[in-house]
Chains A and B, each alone.
Chain A
Amino acid sequence: MKKLIEFRNIVKQFDDNIVLKGINLDINENEFVTLLGPSGCGKTTLLRILGGFLEQDQGEIIFDGAEISKVPAYKRPINTVFQRYALFPHLNVFENVAFGLKIKKTPKDIIKAKVDRMIELVGLDGFQKRDVTLLSGGQQQRVAIARALVNEPDVLLLDEPLAALDLKLRKEMQHELKRIQQEVGITFIFVTHDQEEALTMSDKIVVMKDGIIEQIGSPQEIYNEPKNEYVANFIGESNIVDGVMKKDYLVSFDDRDFECVDFGFKENEAVDVVIRPEDIKLLDRNKPSKLKGEVKSVLFKGVHYEIIVETQKGTSKTVTMHVLEDRDVYNQECGELMHASDFTMDIEDVSAITEQELIARANAQAWDKESENDISISGVEFKISDQPGRYPVTFKTHNGTLITVNVNVVAPKYVEDKTSNVGITAFDFYKTVDEIKESMAISVDLKTWADAYAWSLDDDEEIKISNVDFDFDPINIETGDYKITFSTEGREYKVHTTQYFEEGAKVSVDFGPEDIHVMHKTIKS
């Protein structure tokens, strides 16, 4: 294959923003090349530089052996299919397609022949006289392709041309584009942020991020051997796990050693390990396997099920909830009912406590007995010092109804998990039967009442508490003590399988050495 285009160290800057940071890329004749990356990665800028609509700040573009940076757009043997097609609204289908040839003063009969042939190629025969603004998205797309191709360019640039189409049409156009490219036999450079599009159509995929090329390769190479975490994440779905390369062909993650097919890493190098969801097999618990786990969720995806398996629990903390009888205060004078509960609080939070927080933690409420309309709480009286102990708090309404509860100030008891570097804390608390029955989102309320909080021991950032486990039925609860466990997310694997497993089922997780793909860690800048 002959080299057609060479980008040499292309740099482009908009104001303070460096969009392309030295791009080097070769493109061959008759290749279908896809520039793939999220918006803002510089892929469209690179395309526009090649089209001649932008000029690079540094670097060269060699086209067919000649530097073309100074050649204006209208003299380059390159045509573009624009993102929103940019069809001329004052011209019909035929006139749009004929535009470029007319500019070149091609004889009329030749224009007619070429345009008609091109319209047929894109499957729009009979639409010649149509108004382009009245065509569907897919048809406009075809006109835009025909309008570009009729000029017989050496290269066709396509700037996210399928983005505006719906899913079914998009799939159809993917095949259509591939067919057209094979038929006309020229280079297509296609820009997209859709990895599936890239995998379907391309001969060569260029994965870009922040103005840098991350990886260049065939779809198979990119999918099976992503160079780093970024590419693995961007192309297809993957499970990415931190691991350590013990030696060649042996990698360790999740506290175990696994055989693999990768080599050439330093001994004990920290690596990212990728396992594709479709490469993992789930088996019943009694079968021998690599890891054991529990099914957390099952989604039906048409051809397969997407199952999330938890192989390691997250960090957790269990507290006791004391459920008491209701003890509403009734103010006969104005017919107001009022309610609040005792609660426990962290000694460290005392200094920053607000009235709003006290109202929420005590679940203080007032309402009219007749109408059951809520009444706002107008005053909170409290005197809490940062010494462990019991302190009274009084809530008041405008009409003078008041209720006093006790706050237990205690020193916090953390649970710290050194292996996952997560800390978690929560407190015992008191509630009444009615409060629990009335809760509309019990997990969220339990977190508030227990003041459950988890954080990373590395950087003190908050970590989401994803599980609240309890074994009571909130609708039929009675007085007594109940255990509640709060936990963070553990190690989870996404699995694609055609076999169904029930949520909560205990399963074995299995994969072979060839299913493990080890990558160098990306150095975070």
Chain B
Amino acid sequence: MKSFRRLVYPYLLWAIVFIVLPMLMIVFYAFTTEGNSVMTINFTLDNFFRFFSDSIFINVLIRSLKLAIITTIICIFIGYPSAYFMAKLKPNSQGLMVLLITLPMWINMLVRTYAWRGLLLESGLSPEIKVYIGMIYNFLPFMILQIYTSLSKLDQSLITAAHDLGCDNKMAFLKVTLPLSIPGIISGITLVFLPAVSSFFIPKLLGGGSYVLVGNLVENYFVTTGDWNFGSAISLIMTIVILISMYFTRKFDYSKEDR
């Protein structure tokens, strides 16, 4: 039986080469500047100084964060009632609703965003609003499904127990259902915030180039400008910002690991 352990080694090697090394490459590029030959590597913090000394870059970062946070909040406010109502349906209808919510997710995100582009073409909305619509549309299903899963797993006897102990419907919701569905909200936040903050094709397709987010910066420096070092530095900054936000989100989770 233990001989099966050996089956892991090829993948371990694979994962180090194809997952860990590329990540390290980003760090390496972020701390060097162009023109370094393999022989002379000069580590530098120039890329980071450049980013933080220019208010344009700072503004883009703040705008991305704001957009991601607002998108996430709207997704919670639309997603929670949706998931809650779904969980109250008859079991068969619940299955159908899950299917109906999942179905659009199977269709390419690009294709769906492209559709919104046409729909909103003559709507007269500002690019910013269009980007918000695209973001919410793309990420809302993740939020709904996460919350729905935690609500449908909820032990109904807990609600009965709450009624037994003197709760009316509203109190039972506030004291039992809501606190117990927080893990679902948290994982929903992860699934919405993370891609929202780094998204670059939604602003590009719907914002029409005038609405630049941090993801667009990375794209520009890699694809158009070809300044991979600065691009790597930006993506590193983005990653760190995300890690910090995630850390704070998890603090709200009551789950045992944190206690």
Chain B residues engaging chain A, CB cutoff 8 angstroms = 155, 157-158, 160-168, 171, 175-176, 179-180, 254, 256, 259
Chain A residues engaging chain B, CB cutoff 8 angstroms = 51-53, 72-75, 78-80, 82-84, 86-90, 99-100, 103-104, 131, 133, 147-148, 151
B165 contact set on A, CB distance < 8 A: 74, 79, 99-100, 103, 147-148, 151
* A72, A80, A90: the one within 8 Å of B161 (CB): A80
B180 contact set on A, CB distance < 8 A: 88-90
- Contact yes or no, B164 A73, CB < 8 A: yes
* A51, A83, A88, A104: the one within 8 Å of B166 (CB): A104
CB nearest to B182 among chain A residues? A90
- Contact yes or no, A74 B254, CB < 8 A: no
Q: Complex formed: what's the CA distance from A73 to B171 in Å?
A: 13
Q: Complex formed: what's the CA distance from A36 to B155 in Å?
A: 26
- Contact yes or no, B157 A103, CB < 8 A: no
The secondary-structure label for the interface of chain B is helix
Given contacts A86-B158, A103-B171, A131-B259, whether A80 and B179 have CB atoms under 8 Å apart is: no
A147 contact set on B, CB distance < 8 A: 165
A74 contact set on B, CB distance < 8 A: 163-168
- Contact yes or no, B163 A86, CB < 8 A: no
Q: Complex formed: what's the CA distance from A80 to B163 in Å?
A: 10
- Contact yes or no, A88 B176, CB < 8 A: yes
CB of A14, distance to nearest CB on chain B (Å): 15
- Contact yes or no, A84 B166, CB < 8 A: no
Task: Please list 14 pairs of residues, one from A and one from B, whose beta carbons are closer than 8 Å in the complex, sorted by A's number.
Answer: A52-B163, A53-B164, A73-B160, A74-B163, A74-B165, A79-B164, A79-B165, A80-B160, A80-B164, A86-B157, A86-B161, A88-B176, A88-B180, A99-B165
- Contact yes or no, A84 B157, CB < 8 A: yes
Q: Complex formed: what's the CA distance from A52 to B165 in Å?
A: 12
CB of A71, distance to nearest CB on chain B (Å): 12
CB of A155, distance to nearest CB on chain B (Å): 12
A89 contact set on B, CB distance < 8 A: 180
Which of B158, B162, B165, B175 has the most A CB atoms < 10 Å from its CB?
A: B165
A84 contact set on B, CB distance < 8 A: 155, 157
CB of A79, distance to nearest CB on chain B (Å): 6
CB of B98, distance to nearest CB on chain A (Å): 24
- Contact yes or no, A53 B166, CB < 8 A: no
Q: Complex formed: what's the CA distance from A148 to B254 in Å?
A: 25
A100 contact set on B, CB distance < 8 A: 165-166
- Contact yes or no, A51 B164, CB < 8 A: yes
- Contact yes or no, A88 B164, CB < 8 A: no
CB of B132, distance to nearest CB on chain A (Å): 33
CB of A21, distance to nearest CB on chain B (Å): 25
B164 contact set on A, CB distance < 8 A: 51, 53, 73-74, 78-80, 148
Q: Complex formed: what's the CA distance from A99 to B165 in Å?
A: 7
CB nearest to A89 among chain B residues? B180
B167 contact set on A, CB distance < 8 A: 74, 103
6 A-B pairs with least C-beta separation: A100-B165, A86-B161, A86-B157, A73-B163, A103-B166, A90-B179
Q: Complex formed: what's the CA distance from A99 to B162 in Å?
A: 8
CB nearest to B172 among chain A residues? A74
- Contact yes or no, A131 B158, CB < 8 A: no
A133 contact set on B, CB distance < 8 A: 256
Q: Complex formed: what's the CA distance from A435 to B160 in Å?
A: 65
CB of B150, distance to nearest CB on chain A (Å): 12
Which of A72, A78, A82 has the most B CB atoms < 10 Å from its CB?
A: A82
- Contact yes or no, A88 B158, CB < 8 A: yes
Q: Complex formed: what's the CA distance from A51 to B157 in Å?
A: 13
CB of B90, distance to nearest CB on chain A (Å): 14
Q: A82-B161, A151-B166 are in contact. List 15 more A-B contacts (CB 8 A).
A: A51-B164, A53-B163, A73-B160, A74-B164, A74-B166, A86-B155, A99-B162, A99-B175, A100-B165, A103-B171, A103-B175, A131-B256, A131-B259, A148-B164, A148-B165
* B158, B160, B176, B254: the one within 8 Å of A53 (CB): B160
Q: Complex formed: what's the CA distance from A82 to B167 in Å?
A: 16
Q: Complex formed: what's the CA distance from A83 to B158 in Å?
A: 11
CB nearest to A103 among chain B residues? B166
Q: Complex formed: what's the CA distance from A423 to B85 in Å?
A: 64
B166 contact set on A, CB distance < 8 A: 74-75, 100, 103-104, 151
CB of B91, distance to nearest CB on chain A (Å): 15
CB of A160, distance to nearest CB on chain B (Å): 12
Q: Complex formed: what's the CA distance from A133 to B171 in Å?
A: 23
A73 contact set on B, CB distance < 8 A: 160, 163-164
CB nearest to A102 among chain B residues? B175
CB nearest to A144 among chain B residues? B161
Q: Complex formed: what's the CA distance from A151 to B167 in Å?
A: 13
A86 contact set on B, CB distance < 8 A: 155, 157-158, 160-161
Q: Complex formed: what's the CA distance from A74 to B176 in Å?
A: 15
CB nearest to A131 among chain B residues? B256
A87 contact set on B, CB distance < 8 A: 161
Which of B161, B175, B179 has the most A CB atoms < 10 Å from its CB?
A: B161
CB of B209, distance to nearest CB on chain A (Å): 47
CB of B15, distance to nearest CB on chain A (Å): 34
Q: Complex formed: what's the CA distance from A83 to B165 in Å?
A: 16
CB nearest to B160 among chain A residues? A53
A53 contact set on B, CB distance < 8 A: 160, 163-164
CB of B245, distance to nearest CB on chain A (Å): 24
B157 contact set on A, CB distance < 8 A: 82-84, 86
CB nearest to B155 among chain A residues? A86
B161 contact set on A, CB distance < 8 A: 80, 82, 86-88
CB nearest to A153 among chain B residues? B164
CB of A259, distance to nearest CB on chain B (Å): 54
B256 contact set on A, CB distance < 8 A: 131, 133
CB nearest to B158 among chain A residues? A86
Q: Complex formed: what's the CA distance from A110 to B50 in Å?
A: 62
Given contacts A103-B166, A151-B166, whether A90 and B160 have CB atoms under 8 Å apart is: no
A148 contact set on B, CB distance < 8 A: 164-165
A83 contact set on B, CB distance < 8 A: 157
CB nearest to B157 among chain A residues? A86
Q: Complex formed: what's the CA distance from A17 to B163 in Å?
A: 27
CB nearest to B164 among chain A residues? A80
CB of A72, distance to nearest CB on chain B (Å): 8
Which of A75, A79, A86 has the most B CB atoms < 10 Å from its CB?
A: A86
Q: Complex formed: what's the CA distance from A78 to B165 in Å?
A: 9
A88 contact set on B, CB distance < 8 A: 158, 161-162, 176, 180
Q: Complex formed: what's the CA distance from A72 to B172 in Å?
A: 13
CB nearest to B255 among chain A residues? A90
CB nearest to B165 among chain A residues? A100
CB nearest to A73 among chain B residues? B163
CB of B184, distance to nearest CB on chain A (Å): 13
Q: Complex formed: what's the CA distance from A83 to B254 in Å?
A: 26
Q: Complex formed: what's the CA distance from A104 to B164 in Å?
A: 12
B254 contact set on A, CB distance < 8 A: 90
CB nearest to A80 among chain B residues? B164
B171 contact set on A, CB distance < 8 A: 103
